[in-house]
Structure formats: C-alpha cells, structure tokens
Chains A and B, each alone.
Chain A
Amino acid sequence: MNKRRTRIVTGMICLIIVVLAYFAERFPFYVYEEEELHTSLRQFFSVEHLVRLQPFLIVIAMAALSIRICIWIRGFLLPRDQGDRKAANGKSVKLRKGKRPLFMTVRWIFMIAFSTMVMFGGIWCGFILAGIDFPVLACPTNRDQLIESSCYFLSHLPVLFEEYSPTGIVLFFVSTIGFALLLGRTICGFLCPMGLIQDIMHVIRQKTRTEGISMTQSLYRRLTSIKWIMVLLMFGLVFAGGEFCSFCPAIVTSPVLAGMKVSIYLSGFMMVIVLVGSFFKRRFWCNICPLGYLIGLTHRISPFRVKKDTISCTECGACYEACPMGIKMIYTERERTDVTDINCIMCGECVRSCPEDNALALAFAGKKYYTASRAGLMSGFECDPDPEEEREAE
C-alpha cells in the first residue's frame, strides 16, 4: 500500500516536472528588460556587480527561508522533538573523529579552483579555450568561461548541427566524450560547480547540526525515476519546443556570479529546490542530474576506479552511510573487487569512512591513490596520556 502510494507520488512529481519544464518560461523569477552578456574585470569590484548579483542573493534568501520553514514543519510532523537536544550543556564538547585526510583537502581545493576558473577564468586570465567542451554543469551562457560547458549543446542538439562547422561538431564530441571517458564522474566529485555548491550546503548543515533525511533504497529508486525524466527533458525539450535552459538551475550560478544580466525563469525556483534539497540530503541534485548520468555511462572504461578487498570488508555499511549517491552495492558486494558504479562520483567519502585497512581504495589506472585505514579514521583520538594520568592519580 505504502509502496504504491510512493509510486503514485513519484509519478505525479515526474509529471509536474515535465509540465513545469515545458512551460518554464511562463515562470519569471528575475527578468531583465534587456540582457547583457558582457562583463569586465573592472566591474567586478564595483557596486554594480552587487546589484547584478541580486538574483543569486534572492535565491539564497529564499533557500534559507525554505530551510527554516521545512525544519519548523518537521517539528510538527515528527513525533520526537529534537529542538532542545541541540542546546549546549554549558560545556562545549567536540565530537572526536579522524583528521581531515589529505585527499579531502585536495578535493576541496580542486572544486574551488575549478569552479572559480570555469566561472571567471575567461575574465581573469583573458584567454578562453574555445572549442573544448567540458561536461560540467556550469552555465555555458557565460561566454567568459575558461573552457566551455558542453551542456548547452547537449540540450540543444539541432543548434549544434545547424550552426557549427563539421570540425566544430567533431571537436565538441571529441572533447566532451574524451573528458567523460578519461575522468568519468570524477568530474562530478572534483570539478563541477554545482557539486561545490551542494557540498557547501552539506557543510552548513553539519555545522548547524541539523537533522537530515535518512535515505533508504526505496527513496533512491524514486530519485532514479526522476533522473530518467531529467535525461529525457535534457535531450527532448528542444524538439518539443521547450527551452531546457529556462529550467536548468545552473544558470543562476555561473553567468549571474560573473555579473551578467541574464533573465531567469523557472531556473531560479529550481535552484532554491537544489539548495534546500542538498541541505537535507547531501548532493541531492547529483542524484537526478542528467549530465552526471551521461558521464556515468563511461564507468566501465574510465580509468578512475573504486577498488574493494572483498575479504577484509566487514559489511559495516559505513561507506553506504557516507555515500552521497546511496550506492549500496559497495558494501554488499562480495565477488568483484571493482565496485565502480554508474552513480559513483569518486568523492572518496566511502574510503574516508571505511574502518578496515585497505578494504576500499580509489585507483587511477590500477594505481591506488587513496586507501582506507583505521588509523586514519581514528586519528582524532591520538592524545597525550599525561592529563589522564593525573586524573588517575587523584
């Protein structure tokens, strides 16, 4: 009964998404009389830039408000009330855990650096690698990006074939598919600006110790069906006379942050949903991202792999709990040593949380570059025995 109800709900959501996406331009979020797709470095440090950031700020304000409302409503719905559990008891205690591994630091540096370069690289460095398309979800409306994002042409295939020369078309496919093959969904975990934004939302939730949504496989299955609808929309909307860019949330990030005047339609509301979703569920958008799914198709041949030692695994499920993509197979698998999944974004959270030495590892072309270790996981507990000795003495 319950299952049937969730199916019906999912079906309804899918239907609503399709309808909304089709009529995306009927929902103005922030519309300019005349658009201006030009920015300059000088404008960056002026008041005008702040004014141009307005849509982005509105999105953030709406997201913050929505999150407050969600928490407030949940207080009524959940039988147990945890509001006062968050309160400090006079003394502040730090939950001890493993130190941040080098891998995670590198990942954050990569995400921040790449997102910055993809948004402002063109303006700052003054040169643009035109013709090379990177499969990330950074809005290609921003023509001042260091490299282009391939999502525009993927969602506007007729435009690609009409406007580009054969060399351009070949270059587009070679670079897009080449990067997808070479990097796989490492792109999602390391490079995509949407990923960075979602990870920031996750960090905010951690810092505020807000309860999230505990995901189950049946919920993930619902997200998967939404993802299929997204893929369908991405390719099909242009043929049906719709405009995917008016629906896609990424348009609020790259062009707006770069200071362009871009009219925003349903995308603004979508971005609010993405922010709220990724606050309560880590990497919420990645679970339904159509572009991510396409990159994931290369998971069988991409040189980035997740390796597992099937004997040392204790099936403790820590990796599954940590996985933002809800890949359950990673801890139940007992046969294959390669557990790379189509959904895996190579974020390394599973390896970080794995308590068994060498049970999980990330590898590039057969060489492991990040391996699980209990010492690493429990490194936060290393301490000086002296103060304890004093306590014992008294």
Chain B
Amino acid sequence: MMKENNMTMETSPEKALQSVKEETGSPDQRSRSEKEVRQEIRFIKKETMTCAKYLRRMEELDGMPGALQPFLDTLRAVYVELKNPLEKYHQKTVGTYCVMAPQELVYAAGAIPVRLCSGNYTAFSIGDDLYPRDACPLVKAVAGFQKMGLMPVYRDCSLMAVPVTCDCKKKIVEMLEQTHDVFPLSVPAGREDEDIDRYVEELYRFIDTLEALTGNRVTWDLLAAGMNMTGQAKYELSRFLKLKKSMPYLMWGTHILAVMNAAAYMRADAWSFHMNRLNRELEKRIEKGEKVTSRNRPRIMLTGSPIIYPNMKIPLLIEEMGGIVAADETCMGERGMSDPPVVVDESFDGILRALANQVIRPCSCPTFVNNKERVYRILQMIKDYQIQGVIYHVLRGCLVYDYEYLFIEEELGKRGIPVIRMESDYNEEDVEQLRIRTEAFIELIRLKQAA
C-alpha cells in the first residue's frame, strides 16, 4: 500500500496535469505562457503531494476497517488523481458550500450536489494573495482553486449554491460569479417562525433555479425520491453513531472525519451503500470486542471550525500523540448530516418546511443569533461518548467560532471538563506548536485520569 502511494506521488502530478490539459483544450489555455504552465505544474505537484501525505498518514493508523477504503479512494481521486468521481453518473453537478444548502433539492432536480468547502493548503497559499489578510483560510482555499481552475470537481460544476451565512461566505459569491453561475441562498440569522417561512420561500427560489438548470420539473415524487436518498444516508449515519456510542474506541476519529469528508464528493446512495458495509464490519468488530487501541487513551472531542481534508493535522496530531478523537461537533463532520428532516406534513410545501426546519433550527452554526443550543449539544455528546476533554478548533479568521469559545469554555469549566483553544491556519508551519499543546493537553487529561 505504502509503496504504491509513493509511486503515485512521484508520477502523478505531470500525468494529472496532462490529463487535465487534454480535457480543457480551449484556445486560451493552450496559449498560456511558459511561466503560467510552470506555476500550474508546481501547484499540482505541491497539491497532490500534500494530499497524498495526509492520506498516507491516515492509512498508517492501524486498525483501519477494510470498508473504509472506498471513502479514502474518493478523497484520493479528487485531490491526488485530480478526477471528478461524480463524472460517471452523467448528471450535472451543483457545488454547495455550507450545510445550509439542502442536498435533497439538488437530487430532486436531477443533479448531484458536491460540497466544495476546502481545506487545501496549496490552494490556500494562492488565495492568500487574493483575499484580505484576515479572511478565513477556507474561503482563501476556495479562491485558490477558483483562480487555478485545475480541479475537476470545482470546474465541472454547473451551478454554485452559496448559503449566505458568515461574512466570508457572503463575499465568495462575487468571486465565484466570475467563472460560474451562482445562486446565493439567503439563510436567516434567527430561528423564529417568520424566519422559517422566509427560508421556505428561498427554497422555492432555489428549486426554480435548479429547474432552469436541469430542465426537470421538481414534482412531489422527485422531491420524495431526493428525501429518501439523503434519508438513507442519514439513517446509516445514525446507525454508525449508535455503534460508536456503545464503544468509544471503535474507530479512529480521523477515519470518521475522512468518511464524513468523503460524503462531500459522493452521491448519497453510494455513500450510504459504503456506510452500510462499514456498519456491518463494525458490528462484527463489536461482537468480537475488537478495538483500535488497547490502551485507555484519553477521549477527546473536537469542536469549532470545520476540519476539512486535507487539513487533518489536528485530529492526526491528537491520535498520534496518544489520544483519540471520540466525537466531533463540526459541520464537515457528524453534525452536517446527523439531524434528520422530520416530515410531519406530506404535502410538497410540508416537505420543504420540514427541510427548512431541519436546516435552520437544530443547526449549531455560530452564524445564527443566539446559539446557546450548541452548548447543550456538546454536553450531550460529552455524555454519550464519554468525553474527557474538548479541543476547540479555530481557523484563523473564523470569527464566529472564536466568539463562542468564551461562552463554551465557561459552561464546560463549570462542569469540570478541560477545554483548550487551538488556532491554526491552512499551512504546516504551526504543526510543532500545535503538537506541544496537544501533548500537554493529553498529559493533563492523563493526570486527571490517574488521580
């Protein structure tokens, strides 16, 4: 496995670039200056190498379930082989950003949603020059991919649906408009009844846009089929979470994050199919009493800004330094898919209302005004997964999450749960510093454990 990876690392950049070039054989691209071509080769080389490195580090964690491979393969296809794994379906793809863009509607319209929030270091370094210094790295990474135009998943999107949530997401709309059709999906900042009504109207507008894109009329049946598709995925996830609650050392948290990240680039039915396999494998593990670690590792929960592949340095550090990520409360992780829409009214409007309700009300994204419910969610997870310490991840420039740190630290402090704030950026310069802090935090929990 390792050897194979190294091989791809060495040979793939040029090859990948070549294949990308062949596909986009437009005249202006052929007449690129030599400098630009060199820059592109450098970009792809760096990008693929970093991504392959993180994949390798994930695969090196022992006790990886065999059923995990398809998820890692998807990530590899997107970031290392520079392919579009959704190409085989011959459907239009719609790029979405936050969890607030309902995937069900995209499926109902006959397209495939792909979540484009990025954690790429190489793209970040390019976006860093384009965007203000304090913009969040996620948006800078998206801008970097946009600028280079080399990533098939980004390039192939027929439409980008950008929920208007935090300031940075607001501003990427204009940037994306330069190359793509963009639908800005207004998300209310409150959660009152009127906000839900407004959001339902917004969903109708979204449906109209999707209909214009695919040419399909979204009928009740298609909407129901879309709901069933994502519902199945959510069901498999709920099964998985139940298994994990019964045994905290069932699987590495990094692997779980990889699974959840892979969901961004997989069609929901394919994801639930592989998830079903994974669940069955894990059930067997539980029967046999297998764990990924024999030691009593400190169980740590990750919360805060999203952890997006390949920016897996923090979960990897935690698990390499002797802890385990037993739960995560991040929007690219479990939280993004764990709340099922509860349809209580089976009319078309009723289903949309259920969707709107599911998107707005349980979402613990700090862009909402009054987000106290997040603390309770974290407390419940601490109970469910027997968490001993919380690592609060803040991406540099992600103000909304940073704001909530104080409140959450206070609430958890009252209950005697250690919390640490870890700020990081999309580069590897801060790894050593993070390593020291992670190590110290894990030692602290160990000391508490021993006492």
Contact = CB atoms under 8 A, between A and B. Distances in A.
A388 B277 CA distance: 11
A77 to B, nearest CB: 14
A93 B348 contact: no
B339 A211 contact: no
A392 interface: yes
Contact of A96 (B204, B228, B347): B228
Given A212-B347, A216-B194, A378-B234, A95 B342 contact: no
Contact of A314 (B200, B221, B362): B362
Contact of B348 (A85, A215, A383): A85
A374 B379 contact: no
Contact of A82 (B193, B349, B383): B349
B343 interface: yes
Contact of A80 (B204, B221, B224, B351): B204
Interface stretch (A8-16, A54-62, A246-254, A317-325): A317-325
Interface string A299-319: 000000000001111111110
Interface in B332-381: 339-340, 342-351, 353-354, 357-358, 361-362, 364, 372-373, 376-377, 379-380
Contacts, number: 150
Contact of A86 (B238, B276, B348): B348
A377 B358 CA distance: 14
Nearest to B241: A374
B273 interface: yes
Interface in A71-129: 80, 82, 84-89, 91-97
A92 B221 contact: yes
Interface string B400-430: 0000000000000000000000000000000
Interface stretch (B60-68, B160-168, B212-220, B311-319): B212-220
Contacts of A214: 197, 200, 349, 353
Given A89-B222, A211-B348, A378-B238, A355 B340 contact: yes
B350 A349 contact: no
A334 interface: yes
A20 B284 CA distance: 70
A44 interface: no
Nearest to A78: B349
Contacts of A218: 193
Given A85-B220, A93-B225, A317 B197 contact: no
B351 A95 contact: yes
Contacts of B379: 311
B219 A316 contact: no
Question: What is the interface residue range for chain A against chain B?
Answer: 35 or more
B51 interface: no
A349 B383 CA distance: 27
Interface stretch (A202-210, A230-238, A338-346): A202-210
B342 to A, nearest CB: 4
A317 to B, nearest CB: 4
Interface string A369-394: 00000110110011101001101100
Contact of B339 (A209, A316, A349): A316
B232 interface: yes
Given A80-B204, A85-B218, A385-B276, A314 B373 contact: yes
A46 interface: no
B351 to A, nearest CB: 7
Contact of B238 (A87, A89, A374): A374
Given A87-B219, A321-B353, A381-B231, A209 B346 contact: yes
27 contacts: A84-B219, A85-B217, A89-B219, A93-B222, A94-B224, A95-B351, A96-B232, A206-B345, A206-B347, A211-B348, A212-B349, A312-B376, A315-B191, A316-B339, A318-B344, A321-B342, A321-B345, A321-B357, A322-B342, A334-B376, A353-B344, A377-B340, A378-B234, A378-B238, A385-B273, A385-B280, A391-B273
Given A87-B220, A209-B346, A388-B273, 11 more contacts: A82-B349, A85-B220, A88-B220, A92-B221, A211-B349, A214-B353, A216-B197, A321-B344, A334-B376, A355-B340, A382-B235
Shortest beta-carbon contacts, A-B, top 9? A316-B362, A381-B235, A216-B193, A318-B342, A317-B361, A211-B349, A95-B224, A322-B344, A315-B373
